[in-house]
Structure 1
Amino acid sequence: MSEDAGRTFPSPFSVPSPEGADGWEDLYPYYYTFSEARRDFEEGKFWFFDGMHNPEPVYPFDAIMTENWAVAVNQLTTRVWQIPPSLGIDHRVVNGYLYISPNAITDPELVAQRAEVFSRRAGYYFEHWDEIYAAWIEKATDCVERLQAISFEPLPELEDERVVREHHGVYSTYHLQRRYADLLASLFEMGSYHFEMLNLGYGAYLTFREFCQRAFPGIADRTVARMVAGIDILLFRPDDEVRKLARLAIDLGLTEAVLTQGDPSALLAAMGSLPRGREWLEALEAAKDPWFWYSTGAGYTHTDRAWIDDLRLPLNALRGYAQRLLNGETIERPLEQIVEERERLTAEYRALLGDDDRATFDGLVQLARTVYPYVENHNFYVEHWHHSIFWSKVRELGRVFVAHGFFADEEDIFFLRRTEVHDALYDLCIGWATGTDARGPSYWPDVVRRRRDVYERLRAWTPPPALGRPPEEITEPLTIMLWGITQEVVDEWLGGKEEDAAILNGVAASGGVARGRARVVTTSDGLHDVQPGEILVCRITAPSWAPVFSTIAAAVSDIGGIMAHTAIVSREYGLPAVVGTGFATQRIRTGQLIEVNGDDGVVTLLEEAP
């Protein structure tokens, strides 16, 4: 590997619990923790912290999301498509934080056998991509609509007379438990849809990338990505709706209200009192469903509230767009410019090839561009629209428990594991049916209190970037391209090279050079403080942060590779970006002057932290 080949990361079995957090394992399913029975296997693997999807400790109920994708993505890889060089991705929780470990296949004979299966099955999807994608949209939309129809209400004092006269035969307890089962089933159904075509989309792009690397030695990943950029993907639609609302406010003569009312409630009230404000409010309501079901995070945790729950981010963006329009500036993404650059690059590299290779190149770049919209668009249907509604339904169920005295607050439900919620529901139903007080009101409040305290202690702990035995070489494609875990990153984590305190190295994700003052943002709340011309420094961005990209000068992230959202959004907005720096949010302070070189993947701190 390097001169550090003999070194390893800490054993997952040697990591101590934070003070006061003993017994944290009780918050998670038994199969999510490291076990002595599997010590030899687990200690010999390379585990890295999945801060991309779960930057904070996983809440007990929220573990349902990681369990969901652990089944969904892995079954597609291993049991449906048989991705030739890959098996599944193992999950474990350490002190509340999610660590993952991809399983690679190195036996050439086995890879070849799997390649035959993959080629046949994937080939069918690629040949019928457009019709399968259209059917996928119908399935996903239907799943969301059925989820929206699920409702939870407290159990009544007495069943309605109608259940007798219409002889239903099933009653409120049945409906309450059935709807909870339907809620979970909806999540697992959408989880399957999530990955039905995603691995193929990545596969098509990776095949194109591998061809380019062979045909054009030394070509940068960023250059390959630019040859499929400039596609008007659905994830930009919510931001487009905000731009439309900004234009409408100006057309209706409502700019004073937009520019002077910073609080969403005050703005909505002001609009309601203006002669043409009602027209604008109706347009806002029309845009909100579905486009404001847009999570401010990855969508995998209940703390990632959607725009529809908190209007500050979209309305702050709207205010900025309105001001720029009044200043005579453009507020459009530079789509035409990016498309021109895409076509120029494609033509230049194509001209370097012979006839046979040129035909292969043409087919691969066309396939990559065909599948690319799905690779991004599925996120809106899944992590944003569906998952945001899912969390709202869980809160609705939480209010049922509050009404029956089980919890003090609807948010308490997230401190129960999904199986414990089922137990609590049954306890509630028994108590209601018998007329005897349920045990829940005297049992769950103490459990929630204890777990909340443990969770806060876990939250104060800093997870190491990796555990276990590093591989001789990082080769698994998605580990590199999505999470940004490269051999250089592992060497840096191991202390394999001297650090320059003024330099941060990462993945050159989007070209260009920018200088500016840093704005370090570690939660979506920090986005409200971002000023025009600043450089966004974050752990990782979410697609719903797109409006901020219209005002910043560049982006830097701790986590991610060339296909992470920070990288993709930066390329589509024409901004320099360096991702996968590992420690940017720890090393850089808000207000510090920095330079971002998106061509070389280097961030330079030009002055001491203020």
Structure 2
Amino acid sequence: MAFIRDLADVGRTDLASAGGKGANLGELVRAGFPVPPGFIVETAAYEAFVAANGFGPRILAAADLPSDAPPQAYEEASASIRTLFTGGTVPADIAAELAEALSRLGADSAVAVRSSATAEDLPGASFAGQQETYLNVRGQREVAAAVVNCWSSLWTPRAMAYRARERIAPSDVRLAVVVQGMVDADASGVLFTANPADGRRDRLAISAAWGLGEAVVGGTVGTDELIVDAGSRRVLSRQAGGQQARTVPAGSGVRSEELPEALLGKPVLDDAAAAGLADLGTRIAGLFGAPQDIEWSLADGKPWILQARPITALPEPGAAPPTDWGVPYPGGMYFRASIVEQMPDPLTPLFADMVDGSVTRSLGALMDRVMGRQLLNDGDVRFPTVNGYAYYYYRNSAMLRMTARTLPAMLKLARGGANMGLKGWHEYGHPRYVATVRDWAGKRPEELDGGELLDGVGTLLDAGTEYYTAVQSVIPAAASSEMAFTAFYNKLVRRDGDPPASVFLLGFDSAPIRAEKSLYDLAEWSRRQPGLAEALLAVPVSELARALAGGTAPAGIAADLWDSWQERFAGHLDRFGHAVYNLDFAVPVPADDPAPHLETVRFYLGGRGQDPHRRQQLSAARRDELTAAALARLGLARRRGFLKLLRWAQAAAPVREDALADVGLAWPLLRRMLRELGRRLAASGVIAEPEDIFWLRHGELRAAVDFGLADAADRGGAAITGAAVPVRAGAVEQRRMLWRARRRATAPQMLPQRPWMNRLFGSMMPAGAQDQQGETIRGIGASPGQVTAAANVLGGPEDFGRMRAGDVLVARMTTPAWTSLFAMASAVVTDVGGPLSHSSIVAREYGIPAVLATGVATQQLAVGDLVRVDGDAGTVAVVKHAGG
């Protein structure tokens, strides 16, 4: 036959002719799984139908829509295309083959007719529910009509929009149709071979209902929900659905009827049936090598598999989020502030172990310099984790002693004593940090033994935390200068209609602004090279990143031109690639993963965003104009005060950003050393992958180093017994699961959770109230203006590729490494921050609204929510929920 093949004759290699659903079902039949008999009307039949009726050019013309086209455009295009199919005629040779194939199933037998698109049921995109299914169809004429309707459903508005988002061209899709004998199902449902709620691969989730499965897939009936252990096939939990109706065959179609009284409240699946389905599901997942979303039916106790597709939106495995926030050390207070703002997520085990002692030592040294020796005893100050989240811990008695010496310490800070403040950072903190990094950068990690590598990591981490203590004195100095100028300006200078004080502090250079200009300049240089901009836009970011790592030019870019471009981009990373997204050294920096910076270059290449040089010039010109106007109307005394405070604030503000931008100066080298250790441990069999090193405890890593397992790169990979190194099999994955669960929690700003602590210290914390409810979230208005746009909630650099021009950037916090996204954002919303934080400063430079310190934005907002950000009022209101 030219257009129809039996299911048993197709497999996973026949995607182009059988579509995703058909290819998967054929593979299941070949492997011996219980699949109802049937056949495939191949994509060649779709093409012949379209060609015979002359639809091709009209389909492509109507479907030529951009990915951001409004829903109305997709609806209109869909209606015009589907009208064509309704009036089309099935060619005679296709009709004849269809009649013959139906006769083999039984001429009057009921069949199910299901769409099977070539861009469907794929590992990267399931397209679930995008095309149509018709059940209990009888007779040649009705089946032929159902086939045409399936072909037509390739062009539903939701299918067209889905493909546009996935960047699948209309000319690249075809549709096959699966025709199978109907299963007279007593019960049906869906089986996930991994738990979609928490991503656990050792748990299966089953939804089950009486009757046909169409109601289960469509969500029109209550379903029993079961969780089954993948190993033992034991049912771990059940939740009754309270089903009141079921879907049953009726004539040529289906209908809904009340559930018979005998089935009301009765479990759809007993333990044995659930175990049997779990066994089938596990074997099917093994066949395809990935977790599967499986539709099934039971008829007279026999299970039938109706469909299997990859689960494409499965989260990484995680446990249940924590609810108990008990503290490890009593008699003290715990705060998530200062350096903790650079650690928004739970810490990975190795970093948690190493940073505890490092921060404690650097903080103790700072207290000695600022408040005098003998102030603190052992254990007075710590840096523990609670549910993986970092906290500063201060013993109550130590807090009282420190409070008594606060005023002398503030005076010392104001005078720049103890190597603090702007002068201390310039002359001591920054040069000392740079020297330490330079010293270790002269040593090749590959030539150091395991002990030297681990010692180097500790030294560099200590240098970084010591540097941050210097930055901690820069931030209040800069903040004080801005607050003093703002207060003077608002009370003694500002008139009705005058701009806010922050305008006088814009237009200056700082590390984040220089990084932005560097990327913009690279994009402008690329535009001037014939064909380069177009080639860079055509190559996916992932491919560009691989080409940078491998040194070979991507397809479409000449080798010499690529070398020049790569050299310029490498220069950018040399200057700015150390900026951290998160202080946890398990998180890559741009020097390791340049994808976010590549996205920004492509953003500028696409003709979007502002010229940062021009924006800075305009800001500086307006600042100078406003300054001259203010001075012209002030008397001598106020003029002197205004100028003195203004110059102080203007000198301090950029230094704060420069200081923060260099916190991660040691991180690229530190990460290279850890990856070298990880490579050696993986070769020795201690861990599975080099990246697993971040999930070891420090004691485990030290034991491996002391045992000599990380000394040589060419140890030969000898197997190591569990007694040699205390790392249990599966421990790394268990820790990852726990980390993912903890990441879904909202860590309290202070512990223990006491009302009096919130009253005393709540206003000092960087995050706002974490108990907010309702459609309006309140925070701090840090940059003026109002914007209504879609929210994009980003957890870290792994999500940066999801950022689109015009989105509202929503994050727990931002660091200078996030600045590349500000060019794309229409507004910024964070859980943590304030009017003098990095987010507010950069948002004001970009002229976009910012609402910070909301406490709950990342928990209460979802990707795609339409929100109104009011940077004047400090509110974020949900206008429309995603999908609503």
TM-score by length of 1: 0.75
Distance 1:116-1:583 versus aligned 2 partners, 3 A rule: closer
Whole-Å separation in 1 of the counterparts to 2:879 and 2:463: 49
Whether contact under 8 Å (1:521, 1:527) holds in the other structure is yes
Distance 1:208-1:75 versus aligned 2 partners, 3 A rule: farther
Q: What residue number does 1:189 align with? A: 463
| TM alignment of 1:465-504, pairs within 5 A | 465-466=748-749, 467-468=751-752, 469-471=754-756, 484-485=766-767, 489=768, 492-493=769-770, 501-504=774-777
- In the alignment, is residue 59 of structure 1 matched against residue 348 of structure 2? yes
Whole-Å separation in 1 of the counterparts to 2:446 and 2:850: 47
One of 363, 375, 379 as aligned partner of 2:656: 375
One of 95, 98, 122 as aligned partner of 2:417: 122
Question: 249-258 or 437-446: which moved more?
Answer: 437-446
Q: For residues 254-313 of structure 1, give each alpha carbon's deviation from its aligned partner in whole angstroms, at most 9, with x where no partner exists.
A: 122112111443564236535533322332233332333343x12x12332122322321
Whole-Å separation in 2 of the counterparts to 1:272 and 1:322: 15
Q: What residue number does 2:668 align with? A: 388
Question: Which residue identity does 1:591 align to in structure 2?
Answer: G
Q: What residue number does 1:338 align with? A: 619
Q: For residues 73-127 of structure 1, give each alpha carbon's deviation from its aligned partner in whole angstroms, at most 9, with x where no partner exists.
A: 4532x222349xx999753321222233578669987444444544555398679
Whether contact under 8 Å (1:204, 1:364) holds in the other structure is no
Question: 595-604 or 419-428: which moved more?
Answer: 419-428
Return the offset for 1:192: 1.9
Whole-Å separation in 1 of the counterparts to 2:321 and 2:864: 35
Whether contact under 8 Å (1:58, 1:97) holds in the other structure is yes
| TM alignment of 1:580-595, pairs within 5 A | 580-595=853-868
Give the secondary-structure state (helix, strand or coil) at the position aligned to 2:437: helix
Give the greater-gyration-radius structure (CA).
2
Whole-Å separation in 1 of the counterparts to 2:555 and 2:605: 17
Q: For residues 496-523 of structure 1, give each alpha carbon's deviation from its aligned partner in whole angstroms, at most 9, with x where no partner exists.
A: xxx6622111111111111112222223
Distance 1:431-1:279 versus aligned 2 partners, 3 A rule: closer
| TM alignment of 1:325-364, pairs within 5 A | 330=611, 332=613, 334-343=615-624, 359-364=640-645
| TM alignment of 1:237-252, pairs within 5 A | 237-252=514-529
Return the offset for 1:62: 0.9
Distance 1:532-1:182 versus aligned 2 partners, 3 A rule: closer
Greater percentage in strand: 2
Question: Which residue identity does 2:681 align to in structure 1?
Answer: F
Whole-Å separation in 2 of the counterparts to 1:394 and 1:54: 19
Return the offset for 1:424: 2.0
Whether contact under 8 Å (1:513, 1:595) holds in the other structure is yes
One of 62, 68, 89 as aligned partner of 2:358: 68
Q: What residue number does 1:408 align with? A: 688
Whether contact under 8 Å (1:105, 1:111) holds in the other structure is no
Distance 1:66-1:377 versus aligned 2 partners, 3 A rule: farther
Q: What residue number does 1:7 align with? A: none
Return the offset for 1:570: 0.9
Question: Which residue identity does 1:187 align to in structure 2?
Answer: L
| TM alignment of 1:186-265, pairs within 5 A | 186-206=460-480, 208-210=482-484, 212-213=486-487, 216=490, 223=500, 225-253=502-530, 254-265=532-543
Whether contact under 8 Å (1:514, 1:597) holds in the other structure is yes
Question: Which residue identity does 1:408 align to in structure 2?
Answer: A
Distance 1:401-1:275 versus aligned 2 partners, 3 A rule: closer
Give the secondary-structure state (helix, strand or coil) at the position aligned to 2:391: strand
| TM alignment of 1:510-589, pairs within 5 A | 510-589=783-862
Question: Which residue identity does 2:615 align to in structure 1?
Answer: P
Distance 1:150-1:379 versus aligned 2 partners, 3 A rule: farther
Return the offset for 1:528: 1.0
Give the secondary-structure state (helix, strand or coil) at the position aligned to 1:413: helix
Give the secondary-structure state (helix, strand or coil) at the position aligned to 1:122: coil
| TM alignment of 1:251-290, pairs within 5 A | 251-253=528-530, 254-265=532-543, 268-270=553-555, 273=558, 276-290=561-575
Whether contact under 8 Å (1:596, 1:604) holds in the other structure is yes
Q: For residues 189-231 of structure 1, give each alpha carbon's deviation from its aligned partner in whole angstroms, at most 9, with x where no partner exists.
A: 2332333254144234325515744774699xx9455443432
TM-score by length of 2: 0.53
Give the secondary-structure state (helix, strand or coil) at the position aligned to 1:589: coil
Question: Which residue identity does 1:281 align to in structure 2?
Answer: Q
Q: Identity of paired residues, percent?
A: 22
Distance 1:518-1:197 versus aligned 2 partners, 3 A rule: closer
Question: Which residue identity does 1:72 align to in structure 2?
Answer: S
Return the offset for 1:602: 0.9
One of 294, 301, 311 as aligned partner of 2:584: 301
Distance 1:607-1:306 versus aligned 2 partners, 3 A rule: same
Aligned residues: 535
Return the offset for 1:402: 2.0
Q: What residue number does 2:705 align with? A: 425
Whole-Å separation in 1 of the counterparts to 2:766 and 2:633: 29
Consecutive unaligned residues of structure 1, counting only runs of 5 or more, are 1-17, 26-32, 155-171
Greater percentage in helix: 1
Q: CA RMSD in A?
A: 4.2
Distance 1:514-1:312 versus aligned 2 partners, 3 A rule: same
Return the offset for 1:568: 2.1
Whole-Å separation in 2 of the counterparts to 1:358 and 1:448: 71
Q: What residue number does 1:3 align with? A: none
Whether contact under 8 Å (1:324, 1:330) holds in the other structure is no
Whether contact under 8 Å (2:590, 2:596) holds in the other structure is yes
Return the offset for 1:419: 4.3
Q: For residues 128-163 of structure 1, give each alpha carbon's deviation from its aligned partner in whole angstroms, at most 9, with x where no partner exists.
A: 57xx62665543333222232344449xxxxxxxxx
Whole-Å separation in 2 of the counterparts to 1:71 and 1:234: 28
Whole-Å separation in 2 of the counterparts to 1:502 and 1:333: 38
